[in-house]
């Protein structure tokens, strides 16, 4: 039995997996709160993550009806790009800045200028740094909180921090490290030069964690924590990884030919390659995977968070929101929303704001507003899919995960808009499942160096064919017209 943890923006999910049968035995969850402020500030207290970890794990154990002392391994998935800073005693210095924080957009532009622009960043790292990446947060920290900056002894990503909390060790792995902005995805090594540009004292490079392979363990549970959590003190903690990397494992996306689309707080699209095929498109991030390869990926910052904002505005619940959206026609009778409530990452518009277009006295309805926001965020993913396709990435079917994938209306919209069949995996919490599968792989590798991740995924990942949908030619044509109008608006307002 293995425990998979997914620490996301909105909450933490826990999942218990019987890796022999491939059955999920129990699940649990606990919510997080977001600290929001002006200029795109988005932060969280790390204590929320550890508290949610305990609550979600306890709930999963209760649902499974099992003794946590039989758990053999733990795999942690975390929201990418976040900055957690610790002092020499291992104490957190301030709330973690998250992936969706755009407060350091100006610092990111200065770093890009130093690198020689997007092309210089691509040549150096294999990715183009974006405001959400960790490196600009460090420069922001140095300039906004210099006294705290001088106390930095350890720089960790969110999942690295949870692994530290579990084991007491400062470790990172290649997949999550890919999104820091100070890591070379081709060589799989830290890039110290950009950190020396941020701070010439060498403090930051000394604060970086050790890098390990995806199938290697971080360590074992701290005995006092194992006792508190009711878990096996001999349980191995695997390397874990970023949420997208763990989601790839949890959907079996570990060999060429599959595309996974996540409809969560943010929207992501990714595929697997066995070589670092760096896309000339700056918006395609060719991250390392947490399964030994690479994961060409695009991420939009606007997805269910934008839907939630409209729900809050109209004071309706999710069921009412979906019912209203279903009443409106494709194209929402001419209402188009650019849903950039907190800027956008793909396309790279960190300073953008949201806007509604095409409103008239006749089409300003609750139904059209609901439809327009779903279409607007999905158009962003369509733009990303086009970028992946320009990089010669193909798939016969898109696998959907995340909370939004539970909506039949949204699934059909994705199939029609992308002109590609879609299907959901049986377990929508793919990142937590991926963490559990990776933990099982790591545990197996301790006694068998050739233990296969492919075999584990084949046993533990399944497709829910009842959710499969085909695109409608008529709807695809209608969405194509609406999408072209959306792109014209984005280009007219922002030039890209």
User: pLDDT by residue (tens digit) across 430-481?
Assistant: 999 999 999 999 999 999 999 999 999 999 999 999 999 999 999 999 999 9
pLDDT tens profile 482-494:
999 999 999 999 9
Task: Count CB-CB contacts under 10 A for residue 70.
Answer: 11
Spatial neighbors of 51 by CB under 8 A, at least 6 apart, are 30
Q: Which residues contact 458 (CB under 8 A, 6 or more apart)?
A: 252
Query: What pLDDT score does 124 carry?
Result: 95
- pLDDT tens, N- to C-terminus, the chain (496 residues): 999 999 999 999 999 999 999 999 999 999 999 999 988 899 999 999 999 999 999 999 999 999 999 999 999 999 999 999 999 999 999 999 999 998 999 999 999 999 999 999 999 999 999 989 999 999 999 999 999 999 999 999 999 999 999 999 999 999 999 999 999 999 999 999 999 999 999 999 999 999 999 999 999 999 999 999 999 999 999 999 999 999 999 999 999 888 999 998 889 999 999 988 888 888 899 999 999 999 999 999 889 989 999 999 999 999 999 999 999 999 999 999 999 998 898 888 888 999 999 999 999 999 999 999 999 999 999 999 999 988 888 788 999 998 899 999 999 999 999 999 999 999 888 999 999 999 999 999 999 999 999 999 999 999 999 999 999 999 999 999 999 999 999 999 998 8
Strands, E assignment, 109-190: 154-156, 171-173, 183-184, 189-190
Phi/psi at 225 (5° precision): -75, -40
pTM score above 0.75 = yes
pLDDT score for 127: 94
Taking the alpha carbons of 79, 314, 488, 116 in that order, is the dihedral positive or negative? negative
Which residues carry out catalysis?
243
- Spatial CA neighbour of 371 closest among 335, 318, 319, 399: 335
The radius of gyration of the chain's CA atoms, rounded to the nearest angstrom, is 22
Show Cβ contacts of residue 99 under 8 Å, excluding neighbours closer than 6 positions: 9, 79, 80, 81, 82, 132, 179, 266
């Amino acid at each position: 039995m293995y425990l998979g943890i997914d620490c996301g923006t909105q909450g933490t999910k826990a999942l218990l997996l019987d890796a022999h049968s491939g059955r999920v035995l129990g699940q649990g969850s606990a919510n997080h709160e977001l600290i929001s402020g002006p200029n795109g500030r988005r932060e969280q207290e790390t204590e929320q993550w550890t508290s949610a970890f305990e609550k979600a794990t306890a709930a999963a154990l209760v649902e499974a009806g099992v003794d946590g002392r039989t758990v053999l391994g733990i795999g942690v998935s975390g929201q990418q790009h976040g900055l957690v800073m610790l002092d020499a005693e291992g104490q957190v210095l301030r709330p973690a800045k998250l992936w969706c924080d755009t407060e350091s957009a100006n610092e990111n532009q200065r770093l890009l200028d130093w690198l020689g622009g997007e092309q210089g960043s691509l040549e150096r790292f294999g990715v183009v740094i974006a405001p959400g990446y960790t490196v600009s947060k460090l420069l922001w920290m140095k300039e906004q909180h210099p006294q705290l900056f001088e106390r930095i002894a350890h720089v960790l990503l969110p999942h690295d921090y949870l692994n530290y909390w579990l084991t007491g060790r400062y470790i990172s792995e290649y997949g999550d490290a890919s999104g820091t902005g100070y890591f070379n995805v081709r060589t799989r090594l830290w890039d110290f030069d950009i950190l020396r540009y941020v701070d010439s004292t060498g403090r930051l490079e000394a604060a970086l964690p050790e890098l390990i392979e995806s199938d290697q363990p971080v360590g074992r549970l701290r005995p006092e924590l194992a006792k508190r959590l009711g878990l096996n003190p001999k349980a191995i903690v695997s390397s874990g990884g970023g949420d997208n990397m763990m989601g790839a494992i949890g959907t079996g996306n570990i060999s060429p030919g599959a595309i996974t689309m996540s409809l969560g707080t943010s929207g992501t699209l990714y595929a697997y390659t066995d070589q670092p095929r760096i896309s000339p498109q700056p918006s395609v991030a060719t991250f390392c995977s947490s399964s030994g390869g690479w994961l060409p990926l695009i991420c939009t910052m606007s997805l269910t968070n934008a839907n939630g904002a409209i729900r809050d505005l109209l004071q309706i619940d999710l069921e009412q929101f979906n019912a209203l959206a279903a009443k409106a026609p494709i194209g929402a009778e001419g209402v188009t929303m650019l849903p950039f409530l907190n800027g956008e990452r793909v396309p790279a518009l960190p300073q953008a704001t949201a806007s509604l277009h095409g409103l008239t006295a006749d089409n300003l309805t609750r139904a059209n507003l609901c439809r327009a926001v779903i279409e607007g965020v999905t158009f962003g993913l369509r733009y990303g899919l086009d970028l992946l396709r320009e990089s010669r990435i193909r798939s016969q079917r898109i696998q959907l995960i995340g909370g939004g994938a539970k909506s039949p209306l949204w699934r059909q919209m994705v199939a029609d808009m992308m002109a590609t069949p879609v299907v959901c995996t049986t377990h929508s919490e793919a990142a937590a499942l991926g963490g559990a599968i990776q933990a099982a792989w790591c545990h197996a590798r301790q006694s068998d160096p050739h233990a296969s991740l492919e075999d584990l995924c084949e046993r533990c990942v399944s497709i829910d064919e009842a959710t499969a949908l085909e695109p409608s030619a008529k709807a695809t044509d209608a969405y194509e017209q609406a999408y072209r109008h959306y792109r014209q608006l984005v280009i007219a307002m922002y030039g890209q």
